[in-house]
Each structure stands twice: as C-alpha cells, then as structure tokens.
C-alpha cells in the first residue's frame, strides 16, 4: 500500500477547517493528523507530528501564519488559505507552494493539493522556497510589531517596544529585552530593515538600539563615543552610528 500523507489543518474558524476536511474526504491516501485553531497549537503539532502538508491560514490569534513558519525547524509543504491578503498573493507570485483564496472551489483545491504532492517529492527544494517566501513576505509587510522566538519548547512573543537592544552573535542575534535575553536565528540586516527606523537605530556593526531607551551619548576619547541606556548599559558607537545619532538628536 502507498504511504499515507499526513496533513494538518490550521485555521481559527471551524467552518474553514470543515470545508478542507470535506474536500479531503475523497482522498484515501491522505490522513488528517490534527486540526488546530491557533498558531501556538499549530507550531506544537507540526513539530510533534511532522506532517507532510499543512493548510495554513494567515490571520490567526497570537501567532499568524508567517510568524508560525519562523518557528518551525522542518517546514512541511505549505498551502496557505487566506480570505484577502495582498501580501500573500504577492509572495506567492514570486514563489508558489500554493495559496488558496477563500472561498475556493473543489477544483482549485485539488490543483493546490496536486502541486503540494509534487513539491513533497522534492522536499529540499520546497524548504528553500518556503524560506524564500518568508523573506519576501516580511519584505513587503509593514514594520515588525513583535518578534517571535522559540526557546526550547517555549515560544516567546516580544513586543518591539520592550526590546532594549539587539546584539550580533555569529549567525544569531541576541535580543535584550525587558523580558530577558533571547537568541534568534536572523541577521542584523534583517532587523535593521524590519524594525521601524523611527524606533530603532543601528549604532554599530554589532548593535541595534531602541531609540526611546537612549539616555546619553558620551565622548570617551577623540572620535570614540559610548551610548548609555536608561538601565545603565553602555554600548559602543561606531563612526557612522554617531553620524546617524546626530541626525535624530
């Protein structure tokens, strides 16, 4: 017998999950591993069950579909389902796993499933596509309002205004926030681009600082400056960082 493909459906609306289940009924080669109604549950189930295909809504409580994908180590084949999301449409124009615009017909659904099956066969390719996709969507999206970090089994959601500063650490960044220090696998460049420039400033190759927390800037020696945060932390300032600081203060 052919290997069964495991599917997870993640959507906060019962009826939206129902229709997918209904369409899947005629597919004997597919079993539904789990249904989730929010992002937290989704991340947990995906990591636990290791599904082949995930139907994923974008707008959901707590963690949206994109934020979820950031937290999954082994992304399965994703079929987005969304009501009206210009970002998703744009993202998939560049790189199609597939997306379904609600409401969708059975024919359209079958098409997406077929594409997903083909993608399953070369999964490596697929995870590359997903990564690309995340990059693109966040590119188009507005500035970040919260940062999601996975810390072992725990998921932290850090509102950007509780961040003190971000420090580069090899392939990671260390996010220093009022809620503790958390490591995330992203680049400084990513944060420089995705945090609002009104609130965040890269003052050094290795430091991005939350502007409202800056207390003072001090001249240490000729052309060398140090920046103090309101909690007393001192951070080095590079020459170009100082130029940028001069512009805002």
Partner 1 sequence: MENHPILSSRRNIYIYFLFWFIIIITNFLLLNLALRLDTSAALGDSLVFNVLFSWLGLSFWYPTRYISFEDTKFYRILLNHIIGAVVVSAFWLLCGYLILIEVLRFDDIYQNFFFSTLPWRFPIGALAYFVITSFYYLIIYYSGFQERKLHEAELKGLITQAELKSLKFQINPHFIFNSLNSMSALTTIDPEKARGMILKLAEFLRYTLANNDRQKNKLKDELHNIKLYLEIEKIRFEDKFDFTEQLSEECLEQEIPNMLLQPLFENAIKHAVYESLEKINVNLSCICENGYLKIEVSNTYDPGLKSKKGTGVGLKNISERLKLIYHQNDLIQVIKENNIFKVLLYIPQKNIA
Applying CB under 8 A, the residues found at the interface with partner 1 are 12-16, 18-19, 22, 38, 59-62, 83-84, 101-104, 145-146, 157-159
The pair of structure tokens assigned to 153 is 């089994």
State the nearest-atom distance from the C-beta of 246 to partner 1, in Å.
Answer: 30
Nearer to partner 1, 130 or 195 (CB): 195
State the nearest-atom distance from the C-beta of 39 to partner 1, in Å.
Answer: 10
Chain-centroid distance of CA 163 in Å reads: 17
Distant-in-sequence contacts of 58-65, Cβ < 8 A, 24+ apart: 58/82, 58/85, 58/88, 59/12, 59/83, 59/85, 60/10, 60/11, 60/12, 61/12, 62/38, 62/157, 63/38, 63/39, 63/148, 63/155, 63/157, 64/39, 65/10, 65/39
Nearer to partner 1, 88 or 237 (CB): 88
State the nearest-atom distance from the C-beta of 148 to partner 1, in Å.
Answer: 10
Q: How far is CA 1 from CA 53, 117, 154, 180, 217, in A?
A: 20, 17, 38, 51, 70
Nearer to partner 1, 142 or 223 (CB): 142
Nearer to partner 1, 104 or 228 (CB): 104
State the nearest-atom distance from the C-beta of 38 to partner 1, in Å.
Answer: 6
Between vectors from CA 127 to CA 126 and to CA 132, what angle results, nearest 5°? 95
Nearer to partner 1, 102 or 136 (CB): 102
Nearer to partner 1, 130 or 149 (CB): 149
Angle (deg, nearest 10), helices 106-121 and 123-140: 120
State the nearest-atom distance from the C-beta of 140 to partner 1, in Å.
Answer: 16
State the nearest-atom distance from the C-beta of 157 to partner 1, in Å.
Answer: 5
User: How many other C-beta atoms can be found within 10 angstroms of the C-beta atom of residue 42?
Assistant: 29
């Amino acid at each position: 017998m052919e290997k069964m493909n495991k599917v997870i459906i993640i959507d906060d609306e019962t009826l939206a999950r129902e229709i997918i289940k209904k369409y899947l009924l005629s597919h004997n080669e597919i079993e539904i591993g789990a249904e989730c109604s929010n992002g937290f549950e989704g991340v947990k189930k995906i990591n636990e069950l290791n599904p082949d295909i995930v139907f994923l809504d974008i707008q959901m409580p707590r963690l949206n579909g994109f934020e979820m994908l950031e937290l999954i180590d082994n992304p399965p084949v994703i079929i987005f389902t969304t009501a009206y999301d210009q970002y998703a449409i744009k993202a998939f124009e560049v790189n199609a796993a597939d997306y379904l615009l609600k409401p969708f017909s059975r024919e359209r659904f079958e098409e997406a499933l077929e594409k997903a099956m083909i993608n399953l066969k070369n999964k490596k390719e697929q995870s590359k596509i997903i990564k690309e996709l995340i990059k693109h969507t966040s590119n188009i999206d507005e500035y970040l309002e919260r940062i999601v970090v996975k810390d072992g089994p725990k998921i932290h959601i850090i509102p950007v205004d509780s961040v003190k500063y971000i420090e580069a650490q090899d392939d990671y960044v260390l996010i220093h926030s009022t809620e503790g220090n958390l490591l995330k696998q992203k680049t400084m460049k990513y944060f420089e681009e995705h945090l609002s420039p009104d609130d965040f400033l890269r003052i050094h190759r290795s430091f991005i600082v939350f502007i409202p927390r800056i207390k003072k800037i001090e001249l240490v020696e000729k052309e060398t400056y140090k920046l103090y945060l309101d909690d007393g932390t001192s951070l080095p300032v590079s020459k170009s960082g100082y130029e940028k600081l001069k512009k805002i203060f």
